[in-house]
Chains A and B, each alone.
Chain A
Amino acid sequence: MTPVTQPTPPPLLEVRDLQTHFHTRAGVVKAVDGVSFDLAPGQILGLVGESGSGKSVTGFSLLGLVDPPGRIVGGSVRLDGQDLVGMPVEKLRDLRGRRIAMVFQDPMMTLNPVLTVGRQIALAIRAHDRVSERAAYDRVAEVLSRVGIPDARARLDAYPHEFSGGMRQRVAIAIAMSHSPGVIVADEPTTALDVSIQAQILYEMRALARESGTALIWISHDLATVSSLAERLLVMYAGRIVEEGPTAAVLRDPRHPDTRGLLDSMPATAEPGTQLSQIPGTTPSLLALPPGCAFAPRCAHATETCSTEPPRRGAGDRAWACHHPLEPAA
């Protein structure tokens, strides 16, 4: 490790001990249970985990988009130093879109099917900036061409259904980019797309982050995609961060058995035609988490301690929460 020589700038986004719980009739579901991380301007952060690990709820919580029965019950989300948790709705609405924006897996969740693409992006622009309709449309054409939509001006009058899936996702990204926000939270933005289109979107997202200094939180279950994009990686399991660090270092040398398991179950890492190693069992019910490590019932290394005592996450750049971390590779 090289020592840090220059003072680190204050983080753009500072999340501390975030807790989002869902109060259901069956009990309290701790979907996000004590998540902390920092995000610097222009940084791309990958957030991975199996479904149900709480990665999407974490993303939604950052923007205050969790609907009842879900509620942020603890922790803080500081953006530019202001805590978004408990902020009045009007103030939050002023920040959403302008300073922090979201891209969803399904672009039709963002797009209004009865408005032309140009009109809805213009609405998003005029929601925060007092500009004329004409000036807004000029900016629409500009953001659309920035996300790689060819002949953008001619397509302003098209409706979302006239676009392909990849083009719709670009429109959703264009809306998120339209105010050059500090942070974009992207929840599985390329999962529904074909690989050839995915590669185009990845290329453009990275270029946008570089050029505009927008930081990205890239939520995905696909380690390969995340590894090609993100500088830092957080691995979530059952609502908690179980491992984090620089992406390549984590993937090269995972210390938490869940990270190892995720890597090994990728078909691409195994010899073709051979059995894939698999994580036994399924993700635990968040209603009845074991008192110790939530991964213990599926873990080959688990001992008595694991089932009774929750592991504490170490501190520092490269950290994990495990009683029996895997040996580092030689």
Chain B
Amino acid sequence: MSAPFLSMERISKRFDPQLSLGDRIAARFGARVEDRPVRAVTEVDLAIERGETLGLVGESGCGKSTLGRMAAGILGPTSGSVALDGVPVLREGRKVTTRVQTVFQDPFASLDPRMRIGDIVAEGPVAHGLVSKRDAPGYVGDWLARVGLDPDFADRYPHQFSGGQRQRVAIARALAMQPDLLVCDEPVASLDVSIQAQIINLFLELRRGLDITCLFISHDLGVVRHVPDRVAIMYLGRIVEIGETERIYREPRHPYTRALLDSVPRLVLDDDALVEFAAITGEIPSPLAPPPGCGFHPRCPLAVDGCRRAVPELLDDGADRRVACHVRAAERAAQSGENPGESIAT
């Protein structure tokens, strides 16, 4: 088997607080100054094959955007390495490749309001010699057409467009760089449902047409079911489950994945149905002070003693799926191990 196209190995990101002199003096005198580091991402292994779309889901603060930014080379990892096609994405803290491009959540913040959209899309390809200045207008027009915008819009400014159209411009800008990997960080989160559907359809079309590799980050489980081939679920800086999208949605193995899927409201079409809201008890722990052992154990219905002690490894769970859960690992060992008849229902 060849090496994966994008590979992230044992990648971690820690944010250390930058204490000012004043903070340090205050801390000396006993003031409560936050000096604990935030462990945003901890020892994540992730691989994406060429042409594949991998979804990355999780709730706010789980580290999914940080992981995406490291894949895109925007942030350097504290430890571990990111390589695209065997080539490191970062060298000495600087992004060395233009082969990864990013689409951000907020198309109102990610487009320069004082640039015409034609210039926004042309800027990167011209600077990197993908197209000459003379040919740029035609090149930009092609890309605008591909994302469903009228090429005549090139001399308009971002404020003349709606949110959905701006997101199309942002996608055209990323694609015009002819990237090998597209990192999309919540690309539809700030859009209306009907506009969201338009952008999701655009992604599905582009993926078929361009054979692009994509890391698709979202907190919206409905959106993620629709776009990626495989999906990874993150909780508190670690991947807890990864596998083929439909399999995970049909039969989640990690208790967190299950609880997360259960808490998504469903469309109710029965007149007298009383919906049970299946809420996960408790709050997401702070990444400043993650609980020992498995990060999910304080909220987990299956937690046993061992969960409080050791961090579960992301282990094979059959059918191209990996799960980081002590209870599931024990179940699996019991099924395939020395005592196939033994039940785990303890």
Contact = CB atoms under 8 A, between A and B. Distances in A.
Interface string B267-285: 1111101010111100110
A265 B197 contact: yes
A222 interface: yes
B260 interface: yes
Given A265-B193, A272-B249, 9 more contacts: A165-B60, A223-B193, A262-B194, A272-B226, A272-B246, A273-B226, A274-B204, A278-B201, A282-B195
Contacts of A202: 265, 277
Contacts of B268: 224, 227-228, 247-248, 251
Interface stretch (A18-26, A82-90, A178-186, A190-198): A190-198
Given A227-B269, A272-B246, A276-B226, A195 B200 contact: no
**Which size class do A's interface residues fall under?**
35 or more
A152 interface: no
B265 A225 contact: yes
A288 to B, nearest CB: 15
A113 B201 CA distance: 42
Contacts of A277: 197
B284 A164 contact: yes
Contacts of B265: 198-199, 202, 222, 224-225, 227-228
A181 B94 CA distance: 57
A330 interface: no
Given A267-B226, A272-B245, A228 B194 contact: no
B264 interface: yes
**Residue among B59, B60, B192 facing the most chain A CB atoms (10 A cut-off):** B192
A268 interface: yes
A221 interface: yes
Contact of B225 (A167, A200, A265, A267): A267
Interface string B191-214: 011111110110011000000000
Given A196-B263, A199-B263, A227-B267, A266 B279 contact: no
Contacts of A194: 59-60, 219, 284
A246 interface: yes
B279 A251 contact: no
A269 interface: yes
B200 A276 contact: yes
B222 interface: yes
A57 B293 CA distance: 48
Interface string B214-242: 00000111110111000000000000000
Nearest to B264: A195
Contact of A196 (B245, B269, B280): B280
A248 B280 contact: no
Nearest to B270: A248
A248 B270 CA distance: 6
Interface of B: 59-60, 162, 164-165, 192-198, 200-201, 204-205, 219-223, 225-227, 245-246, 249, 259-260, 263-271, 273, 275, 277-280, 283-284
A197 B196 CA distance: 23
A228 B197 CA distance: 22
B277 A199 contact: yes
B277 A200 contact: yes
A185 to B, nearest CB: 20
A206 B273 CA distance: 14
B267 A251 contact: yes
A50 interface: yes
B163 to A, nearest CB: 8
A248 B269 contact: yes
22 contacts: A51-B192, A194-B219, A195-B59, A195-B264, A196-B259, A198-B265, A199-B265, A199-B279, A221-B193, A224-B222, A225-B265, A228-B266, A228-B275, A228-B277, A263-B267, A266-B193, A267-B222, A273-B204, A273-B226, A275-B204, A278-B197, A282-B162
Given A221-B192, A265-B196, A198 B267 contact: no
**Residue among B195, B221, B270, B279 facing the most chain A CB atoms (10 A cut-off):** B279
A196 B197 contact: no
A195 B64 CA distance: 16
A148 to B, nearest CB: 9
A203 B164 contact: no
**Residue among A194, A197, A200, A274 facing the most chain B CB atoms (10 A cut-off):** A194
A251 B271 CA distance: 10
Given A164-B284, A225-B265, A267-B197, A200 B279 contact: yes
Nearest to B266: A224
Interface string A252-296: 100000000111111111101111111100110000000000000
A128 to B, nearest CB: 31
